[in-house]
Amino acid sequence: MEKKRLLDACRKTIILIVSALLLAACSLPRILVLHDPLNSQEHIDLGVSYEKRGEFSAAIKEYEEAAKDLPQAYLFMGNVYFQQKNYDAAAKAYRKAIDLTDNPHAFNNLAWLYYTTDTKLDEAEELARRAVELSPDDEGFADTLKKIRERKRANGSP
């Protein structure tokens, strides 16, 4: 009988200790260090995928992440903003791409934005001319320049 009481006391003590440990483990704060497994180019690729599916907010987030190391991501951001008709944000993104990369596509896309919105056509012409200088074999850039000059003539500008 004495032995049974001792075993019961031991069992209760063990159950109490195990319960206390389980409860404590659940309430202890955990520190997680998350590492982004994607590199900048992979963020751009993922952003392009989102963009093709019309998930523009997700695309912008990926491009913003990529832009930390890859400034050409601003060109992609500008394209998304342009599709959303957020022309101010698109212009800022293209301008940042121009400043950081000297990418002819950024020059051309900003010129096309100005042409599309029928604003700043003199600046648009300069941007398109620069795109053609940087990439003379690209017919799309030459076409943008041609259309801007035609619009300027139609509007009475030299």
The domain in which residue 118 lies consists of 71-154
- Identify the three-state secondary structure at position 92: helix
Q: Based on the structure, what is the number of domains in the chain?
A: 1
Q: Give domain status of residue 40, yes or no.
A: no
Q: Give domain status of residue 18, yes or no.
A: no
Residue 85 is part of a domain; what is its CATH number?
1.25.40.10
Task: State how far Cα 36 lies from the chain centre.
Answer: 15
Q: Give domain status of residue 22, yes or no.
A: no
Q: Give domain status of residue 52, yes or no.
A: no
Residue 73: per-residue pLDDT:
96
Q: Give domain status of residue 43, yes or no.
A: no
Alpha carbons 18 and 3: distance in angstroms, whole number: 22
Q: Give domain status of residue 31, yes or no.
A: no
- Identify the three-state secondary structure at position 47: helix
Residue by residue, pLDDT tens for the chain (158 residues) are 566 665 566 677 777 677 766 666 665 566 665 677 888 899 999 999 999 999 999 999 999 999 999 999 999 999 999 999 999 999 999 999 999 999 999 999 999 999 999 999 999 999 999 999 999 999 999 999 999 999 999 888 76
Q: How far is CA 23 from CA 10, 16, 133, in A?
A: 20, 11, 69
Alpha carbons 102 and 72: distance in angstroms, whole number: 9
pTM: 0.76
Residue 21: per-residue pLDDT:
64
Burial per residue of 95-125, b for 16 or more beta-carbon CB atoms within 10 angstroms, e otherwise: ebbbebbebbbbbbbbbbbbbeeeebbeebb
Q: Give domain status of residue 10, yes or no.
A: no
**Neighbouring residues of 104: CB distance < 8 A, sequence distance ≥ 6:** 130, 131, 134, 135, 138, 141
Q: Give domain status of residue 66, yes or no.
A: no
